[in-house]
Amino acid sequence: MARRILSFLPLLFLAAPFLGSACSTSQVRTARADSQVEAATMSWSPQDVETLRSVTAVALSPDGAQVAYTLAVPRTAWKDEDGTPWIELHVLDFASGVSRPFVTGKVNVGRIAWMPDSKSIAYLAKREGDKETALYAVRTDGGESRKVASLDTSISTFSFSPDGSEVALVAPEPVSKERKAREDKGFKQQVYEEDGAFSRVWIAATKEGAAAPRRLAVEGHVHQCVWSPVDTRLALAVAPTPLVDDEYMRTRVRVVDSKDGTVLHRIENPGKLGTIGWTPDAKWVATIMGSDLHDPAATTFVAWASEPNSGPVMIQPLGDNWEGAAVAFDFQPDGHALIVAAKGCETSFEKVNVANAGAQKTLVPAGAAIFNGASVSNDGQTAAFVAHTPRHTPEVYTMRHGDAGPKRRTISNPLLENMEFAKQEVVRWKARDGLELEGVLVHPAGEKAGQRYPLILSVHGGPEAHESNGWATNYSRPGQIAAAKGFAVFYPNYRGSTGRGVAFQKSSQGDAGGKEFDDLVDAVDHLVSIGLVDKDKVGVTGGSYGGYATAWCSTKLTQHFAAGVMFVGISDKFSKFGTTDIPEEEFNVHALKRVWDDVDHSRERSPITYAAQSKTPLLILHGKDDPRVDPGQSRTMYRHMKLRSQAPVRLVLYPGEGHGNRKAASRLDYAVRMMQWFEHYLQGPGGAMPPYEVDYAEKPVAAG
């Protein structure tokens, strides 16, 4: 139970977000803030946001006495070597609230889990002398980390046997000596979609001096591995190949014997697969999955019989018509599942009887905080969470049986205590066809009654993502940064979003650019109608599918939008199919038909079709190494806008970045450029584009 780690670190947009003692090493003050931290309030800037730390995962010890957690620590642009945030390991004592650093500094700690005896924490890392990521363990009562297991390739995940004497390791197959010799001579050609390394399973003894790990003969590419809590079985999430499309659409659950890899049971989940785990008695394998092949998101909690010859026995405790989304789960020893659930813009913590689908109890109602992960003690009486609110990034929260609710236990960013926050709330509106929708509104700081403000409409991706009423600011989501500059910011959950049940998240299928984006215009009209927004000063931004929305709003719906910032977005539906790494996912859960079956429809729903009518100044940004939405989509959009429209357009490419920016410099550049564009066209003179060289403002202070 407590060995399951439910982590939170979104790939594209770090929606970066408990009370108690804070560890001194978890505190952060920027160079700008050091001299002002005692001031009553401070306004926001992109530089402030890029210093914020976030808890990314929690693991409660089996005895419930300690919480291990990982902390993302951003690098400082202009000062540190550019790169992704460092990931540190800290441990919080439950009773005292004291948090201690265990593995910190220039480190990247991967998955964390407790050894069954609650005395040691296991983690993945590449430490000094390591060529590949290995498995380490460190005792909480003192001592240095020791290497538990290593392979010739980097370990991606692991799971301990019930007594901790063995551990299952998942890692890619090592490169053969012959291939390495060829690569050393310059033969580094890549065979597209054919030469990817399969991830396999190895079993290693955990005692020092043990024999080398042995590989199990498991067919397919392994993504997850969870050891049964009572015997030698492993539950695996296995795809037929390493292709991302197969991971999304063809990953299935297999129960195998850890002794020799024999497949004992095949669970044919019908579509997308999220987290897997075991009930405490190991009679059921629990999953968060798609309800069928065409469900766009894994949000349904289902338990499957795990015994051989049991057939496709499954139960869905929350019911087919439950209007929510399962986010994470763990178990109490009596078999009750404890589920973090998204409900609209909020989250709750639910207790469900796995064997009795009708027995459900809400332990923490919606509105307390936004929970992204949970870990439960072996006795089922204590839980630890990753959670965030409108006023802080993800932190550690805990809750014990009898508590009124979860308590915040870490303060990773003392700077936030001195920041000025604009009002944030959930707003509901009706679409033109009568469907009620909701989203998160960040008001302008210092808002005055009767005054209208420019609006930035920030559209999430997917479309099967959703917005929560929690931390709403990062490099690509303007939130408090824009509010401090006098903007209203709105994050809509348009049709097709998750958090409102399967039917709702399917409601935009086959209609790309249709009613789903009309919902955006209807949201803007609502904010205009209540007197908040100036209808002539509306901007739009978003990444991935939100980038598609931005391109669509800047062309087909140009009359409604005065500026756009498009990120890793789609401009041509036909060519996107041929360049993405998820064509089957696109077909099965979004388009429901192939592009060649209706070429006219693909053209009709492509923003470039309407480029000539655009009057919306558009800033386009894209990672040059994006495998999901090829950067050619942005180059195509740029060229059509440049040659066919009268609207200003600029394209910025980020070398070394993929489907979202991960490195400090490119994140800061993005945030500064986005705000420069919106300030220029929604608050400033407009007209010709602002200079392409941007002022990073804090460079002299941070660099010094």
Report whether pLDDT(424) > 80.
Answer: yes
Least trusted range by pLDDT, from 29-43, 189-203, 359-373, 382-396: 29-43
Task: Select the more confidently predicted residue: 320 or 114.
Answer: 114
Label the pairing between strands 563-567 and 618-623: parallel
Neighbouring residues of 536: CB distance < 8 A, sequence distance ≥ 6: 562
Residues 559-586 have a mean pLDDT of 96
Evaluate if residue 321 carries a pLDDT over 60.
yes
Determine which of 75-84, 232-241, 663-672, 680-689 has the lowest per-residue pLDDT on average. 75-84
Beta bridge partners of 699: none
Q: What is the mean pLDDT of residues 192-199?
A: 93
CB atoms near residue 105 (< 10 Å): 9
Nearest to 460 by CA among 369, 523, 387: 523
- Would you state the torsion angle of the CA atoms of residues 606, 608, 612, 617, taken in this order, to the nearest 10 degrees? 110
pLDDT at 31 over 70: no
Give Cβ neighbours of residue 91 (< 8 Å, ≥ 6 apart).
Answer: 66, 67, 68, 69, 99, 100, 102, 121, 140
What sign results for the dihedral spanned by CA atoms 28, 32, 35, 36?
negative
Strand order in the sheet with 407-408: 370-376, 382-389, 392-400, 407-408
Model confidence over 576-616: pLDDT tens digits? 999 999 999 999 999 999 999 999 999 999 999 999 999 99
Per domain, the residue ranges of the chain are 421-703
pTM: 0.92
Res 358: pLDDT: 64
* Predicted pLDDT at 496: 97
Beta bridge pairs of residue 683: none
Query: Kind and range of the H or E element at 677?
Result: helix 664-678
User: Taking 80 as the threshold, does the pLDDT of residue 30 lie above it?
Assistant: no
Give residue 697's pLDDT. 75
5 — pLDDT class (breaks 50, 70, 90): very low
Residue 552 parent element (H or E): helix 545-555
Task: Kindly report the average pLDDT of the chain as a whole number.
Answer: 91
CA 567, CA 670: separation in Å to the nearest integer?
9
277 with 329: CB under 8 angstroms?
yes
Instruction: Provide the pLDDT for residue 42.
Output: 67
Task: Say which CATH topology domain 421-703 has.
Answer: Rossmann fold (3.40.50)
Q: pLDDT tens digits, residue range 37-73?
A: 333 456 789 999 999 999 999 999 999 999 999 999 9
Distance CA 42, CA 36 (A): 8
What is the rounded distance in angstroms from the CA atom of residue 588 to the CA atom of residue 10? Answer: 23
pLDDT digits (tens, 9 = 90+) for 486-512: 999 999 999 999 999 999 999 999 999
With a cut of 50, say whether residue 15 has pLDDT above it: no
In angstroms, what CA-CA distances link 213 with 13, 116, 166, 603? 37, 20, 10, 54
Tell whether the model's pLDDT for residue 20 goes beyond 60. Answer: no
- Residue 679: partners with Cβ closer than 8 Å, 6 or more residues away: 485
Residue 531, pLDDT score: 97
For range 143-160, the mean pLDDT: 96
**The predicted structure's pLDDT at residue 41:** 54
Q: What DSSP line would sit under 481-531, residue for residue?
A: HHHHTT-EEEEEE-TT-SSS-HHHHTTTTT-TTSHHHHHHHHHHHHHHHTT
* Rounded Cα gap, residues 593 and 385, in angstroms: 40
Please give the Cα distance from 447 to 521 (Å, whole number).
23
Q: What tens digit of pLDDT does each residue of 96-149 get? A: 999 999 999 999 999 999 999 999 999 999 999 999 999 999 999 988 999 999
Please tell me the least confidently modeled range out of 42-46, 88-92, 256-260, 589-593.
42-46
Instruction: Out of 180-184, 230-234, 641-645, pick the least confident.
Output: 180-184
Torsional sign, CA 199, 201, 202, 206 = positive
Does pLDDT of 360 surpass 90?
no
**E strands in 589-677:** 618-623, 649-654
CA-to-CA distance for 159 and 477, rounded, in angstroms?
Answer: 35
Q: Give the pLDDT of residue 698.
A: 52
Rounded to whole angstroms, the Cα distance separating 331 from 243 reads 32
Looking at residue 607, what is its pLDDT?
Answer: 98
